[in-house]
Amino acid sequence: MNEVRAISIFVRAATLGNLRRAAIDQGISPQAASHAVMQLEKALGVRLFHRTTRKLSLTEEGQRLLQNVEPALAMLSSAIADAKSAKEHIAGPLRVSAPKALRRALWPAVLEFAALYPDVMLDVRFDDHFTDLVEERADVGLRGGSPPAGGAIARRLVPIQLIVCASPGYIERYGAPQTVDDLASHRCTGYRRANTGKEAPWEFMIGDEIVYREISAALCTNDIDAEADAVLAGLAIGQLGSFSAAAAIREGRLVPLLTRHLTQRESVYIYYRHRTEQPLRVRTFIDFMIGKLADNGDFFLSAAELRAFAAA
C-alpha cells in the first residue's frame, strides 16, 4: 500500500507540476509527499523529477514510469470504487416499462425486488407498445419478441414458445385436434394486437418452415391473461405463450396439443442504456431480474417435456 500511495503522489505531482499542490490534493503534508517520492526514487534507483525552486519536470525515466503506471492506477482506482459501491445505499426512483402480456410472469419478481429494497421508488408501467427508453425516460425495459434496436443493450432472458393447448375439460367434451387442419372444426381463441388492432395469426412449424394460419376465433381479446383464462375455463383451444401456459401444463390444468408444430422464434428481453451510465439502484434491478429470469425453466417447456407430450 505504501508503494501504491507513493506512485499516486508521483502521478499527481507529475500531472500538477508541483509537489505542494499534489500533497494538498492527496490530503497529506508537503514533507510527507516529498518523502514518499524520494523513497520511490530510492527504491527504483532512478531520479524521477528535475527539481527547481519553482517547478518539477519529469526526467526521461519519470516520463516512462508515468506512461506505464497511469492505466494500471486508473484500473486500481476503478476496482476500489466498485468495491466501495457495494456499501452504497440503494435508493431513489426507478422507472420500468414492460408489456401487459408479461405482467403475470414478471410481477412476482418485481414485488420481490421491492421487498428487498424498500427505499427504491418503483414506477412500473405495463404497456404493450414498445418503449423507447430515452423518449419515455424509463431506466429499464422488458419486452417479448425480437431484441430491441436503437442503441439499447438487450439481454435475452427466456425463450417464448407458442403452445397450442386446451383444458382437460374441453378435450373431454370436444376431443383434441390431431392436425393443424383439424383446428377449423374447433372453438379457438384469438389475440388482438395492441399496436395494430388486428387479430394475430397462429403460427406452426411445419417441416423446416414457420407457417402462419388465420384461425377463426370463437372468443377474441386483446389481453393475454384473459385469453389464457378462457382456455383454462374450457371454453376454447388457444395458442398461448409459454410464460402463460408452462405452469398450468405442469399442474395438469392445460394439455399441450400439436407439439410437433410448436414454434420458438422469439424471447423475453431486458434492455437498458449502457451500464456505466446507470446508478446503483438501476444496475441492481437489472442484475436481480437477470438472476430471477434468465433461462428460468419455470417459463418454458424443456425439450424432454416436449418429447414426452409428443409421445403421449
Domain 93-312 has CATH 3.30.70.580: no
CATH of 2-85, one of 1.20.1630.10, 3.30.360.10, 3.10.50.30, 1.10.10.10: 1.10.10.10
> What angle, 0 to 180 degrees and rounded to 10, lies between the N-to-C axes of helices 103-116 and 280-293?
130
pLDDT at residue 53, as a whole number: 66
pLDDT at residue 3, as a whole number: 79
The CA distance from 183 to 186, in Å, is 5
> What angle, 0 to 180 degrees and rounded to 10, lies between the N-to-C axes of helices 224-232 and 242-250?
30
pLDDT at residue 84, as a whole number: 61
The CA distance from 244 to 189, in Å, is 14
pLDDT at residue 83, as a whole number: 61
Using 70 as the pLDDT threshold, list the residues of the chain that sit under it. 1, 53, 81-88, 130-132, 134-135, 149-151, 275-277
pTM, full prediction: 0.68
Per DSSP, which regions of 192-262 are E strands?
202-206, 209-213, 219-221, 238-241, 255-257
Q: Where are the domains of the chain?
A: 2-85, 93-312
pLDDT at residue 171, as a whole number: 97
pLDDT at residue 294, as a whole number: 93
> What angle, 0 to 180 degrees and rounded to 10, lies between the N-to-C axes of helices 60-85 and 2-16?
120
pLDDT at residue 78, as a whole number: 75
